Amino acid sequence: MVSKTVIVTFGIASILFPTAAMAIEYVVGDASGWTIEYDYHAWAENKVFLVGDKLVFNYAPLYHNVLEVNSTAFERCIVPPNKEKFSTGNDEIVLVSPGNKWYICGVSGHCAAGQKLAITVQDKNPPTPSSSVHAIPFSGIQVFLAAIVVVVTIKL
Ligand SMILES: [Cu+2]
């Protein structure tokens, strides 16, 4: 009886949350990529970043690069010396931990020209329901299928 309950619960969960657990790949700046004079604050504003999601920085490697920095360096556009740079032009950065993350371009003047991105990464299992914006709203068909599973189970 216990095992049947577990299977049914899992079945309902997989119907209701088919994609909620999938990592999302965010192309920074979308089609504009990683460049100057783009509003990355606006780009990030309505997005929810979870641990396991990925940032992709696309740019011409001759002209730009990517550095992860602290809040002070971000605010003042300070390029930390000897800091490891991402510089392939197609840098994929997996968000491995929750918290605030700051990225700038290390080329002189670019951060000041707007090539800077600040995001907040949330835990996969948020402690409060209010931060679970990532979950896909249930559609009618999903609720209907879940109801069928319940009904079939009761008859078993
Ligand atoms: Cu740049």
**How far does residue 104's CA lie from ligand 1's centre (Å)?**
8
**How far does residue 51's CA lie from ligand 1's centre (Å)?**
26
Query: What is the domain extent for residue 54?
Result: 22-125
119 neighbors 49 (Cβ within 8 angstroms): yes
* Residue 73, domain member (yes or no): yes
pTM over 0.85: no
**Residue among 18, 87, 85, 96 nearest 55 (CA):** 96
* Residue 27, domain member (yes or no): yes
**How far does residue 89's CA lie from ligand 1's centre (Å)?**
11
* Residue 151, domain member (yes or no): no
**How far does residue 91's CA lie from ligand 1's centre (Å)?**
14
What would the pLDDT profile of 62-110 be if each residue is shown by its tens digit?
Answer: 999 999 999 999 999 999 998 999 999 999 999 999 999 999 999 999 9
Strand partners, 50: 122
- Distance spanning both ends of the chain, measured CA to CA: 11
What CATH code is carried by the domain that includes residue 108?
2.60.40.420
What's residue 150's pLDDT? 47
What would the pLDDT profile of 2-51 be if each residue is shown by its tens digit?
Answer: 545 444 444 444 445 544 568 999 999 999 999 999 999 999 999 999 99
Q: How far apart are CA 105 and CA 112, in angstroms?
A: 9
**How far does residue 112's CA lie from ligand 1's centre (Å)?**
10
pLDDT above 90 for 122: yes
* Residue 46, domain member (yes or no): yes
Domain count, the chain: 1
* Residue 59, domain member (yes or no): yes
* Residue 137, domain member (yes or no): no
CA angle, corner 74, sides to 71 and 78, nearest 5? 115
* Residue 141, domain member (yes or no): no
**How far does residue 80's CA lie from ligand 1's centre (Å)?**
15
**How far does residue 114's CA lie from ligand 1's centre (Å)?**
9
* Residue 108, domain member (yes or no): yes
Q: How far apart are CA 55 and CA 36, in angstroms?
A: 17
